[in-house]
Structure 1
Amino acid sequence: MYRKEFFVFDQDKPVPVVIRNYEEKDFPDLIRIQQESFPPPFPSELWWNDVQLNNHVTLFPQGALCIEVNGEIAGSMTGLLVDFDPQHPEHSWEAITDNGYIRNHKPNGNTLYVVDIGVRPAFRKLGLGKWLMFSMYDVVVHLGLERLLGGGRMPGYHKHANEKSPEQYIDAVVKGELKDPVITFLLRCGRTPVKVVANYLEDEESNNYGTLMEWKNPFSYSK
């Protein structure tokens, strides 16, 4: 199981944090993270429920991570293993994650797929999302997988949809001409775009698009 203790900084003040696997006792806190991290117009029915969380900790506990700040759970990240074929990348979040229930988890899969990542707004200035992402990279390396992959929301796209295709929007974000709250964050975490997918997730702000973004295991990297 996974546990990492270190410090983050609130301006110049060190703050102790712990990243660990979440457990059943954490479920109420994890649901609270969802509610605070994904307020409307994000659909409330996509917040975690107890059945989904129980599947996370039983089917793939290595992919169920949370981060504590001074003993208080401030964020979480969840994944499952899938067999990903780069030649056929199209899919929806609902299909590849079993709508968050991960009953399709493949123990011998080649890719760790990100189901979800969220940090409570009050803690976002501490950079916790980046640390969660880096910890999931640890899991990729530890399990000898090819990559970490996930679809990033594009919440800034609706502001530019009349003038840019989704691919043009992502290209502008990668070039630094535009900044997207999610895609720019993922770029800062070392993820790179693979493909824009239509009808990826019911998400008004993204016009239902998502951008698949990967991090390749540097110990098994191949073109």
Structure 2
Amino acid sequence: MGYRSEFYVMHDEKPVPVIIRNYRESDFNDLIEIQSECFPPPFPEELWWNEEQLTNHVTLFPEGAICVEIDGILAGSMTGLCVHFDPAHPSHTWEEITDNGFIGNHDPKGNTLYIVDISVRPSYRKLGLGKLMMQAMYHTVIQLGFERLLGGGRMPGYHKVAGKMSPNEYISGVLSGELVDPVITFLLKTGRTPVAIAENYLDDEESCNYGVLMEWKNPFK
């Protein structure tokens, strides 16, 4: 079943039309362009989405491939796959659980919608589009009967305090309001809750290679 939602957001006190929908092959060039804007050099170009990955997204799990248009321009995307997650054994890496972004390990019988990526063009980041796409994924969690939405969040502010604070202490500081992290604080605002710290989650100097697994539980489960 396809996803499509139409509404307005306010931009400079003016209502602007927004559409959240599943992305498709005709969107691939725009999606790669969005990646290039979100992850400019020195981020390696070969780590942006490529057509093979995007083809897998729309073929293996089209329900987990969504994008947002604002006033007719593709402004962001969000991608997920279905996995089986055991909260008693949460540890994993991004590459393992997403098949390095190819989602070849998508499991239609899994219990969890796992977020692979969320990207919003920098020029559109103050309009709340990331939160709106996250809410769309929550609708998909309910529609398809998953137990939760889960994903690993970078903690890019951690490297500034890593010499005096453990990852768990850092997240506790964010939760208490003493610290603000660009990614973790955003995810909290979208309704996500920290579950566990994942060591060596991804190659990310700012996060000291840690990730924070954060979930949203299906309230009807």
92-101 or 167-176, which deviates more: 167-176
Tell me the alpha carbon deviations over residues 142-183 of structure 1, each in whole angstroms, 9 at most, x when there is no partner. Answer: 001100000000111111111111111111011110000000
Amino acid at match of 1:8: V
Please state if 1:74 is matched with 2:75. yes
Residue in structure 2 matched with residue 202 of structure 1 by the alignment: 203
Alpha-carbon displacement from aligned partner over 1:52-96 (angstroms, at most 9, x marks no partner): 000000000000000001111000000000000000000000000
> What residue number does 2:190 align with?
189
What secondary structure sits across from 1:200 in the alignment?
coil
Measured in 2, the distance between the counterparts of 1:45 and 1:194 equals 31
Partner of 1:134: 135
Q: Contact conserved, 1:91 with 1:200, CA < 8 A, in 2?
A: yes
Q: Which residue is equivalent to 2:29?
A: 28
Name the count of aligned residue pairs. Answer: 220
Alignment partners' CA distance in 2, 1:43 and 1:128: 25
Code of the residue aligned with 2:51 in structure 1: it is D
Q: Does 1:61 align with 2:100?
A: no
Partner of 2:170: 169
Superposed CA RMSD in Å reads: 0.9
Q: Give 2:111's aligned residue.
A: 110
Aligned to 1:214: 215
Partner residue, 1:94: 95
Query: How does the TM-score come out when normalised to structure 2?
Result: 0.97
* Cα distance, 1:12 vs structure 2: 1.8
Report the 3-state secondary structure (helix = DSSP H, G, I; strand = E; otherwise coil) of the residue aligned with 2:206. Answer: helix
DSSP-derived class of the 1:78 partner: strand
Q: Which runs of 5+ in 1 are unaligned?
A: none
In structure 1, what is the equivalent of residue 6 of structure 2?
A: 5
Measure how far apart 1:40 and its partner are.
4.2
In structure 2, relative to structure 1, the CA distance for the partners of 1:172 and 1:42 (3 Å cut) is: farther
Q: Percent sequence identity over matched residues?
A: 69
Cα separation, 2, equivalents of 1:9 and 1:81: 33
Q: Please give the alpha-carbon distance, in whole angstroms, between the structure 2 residues aligned to 1:207 and 1:41.
A: 18
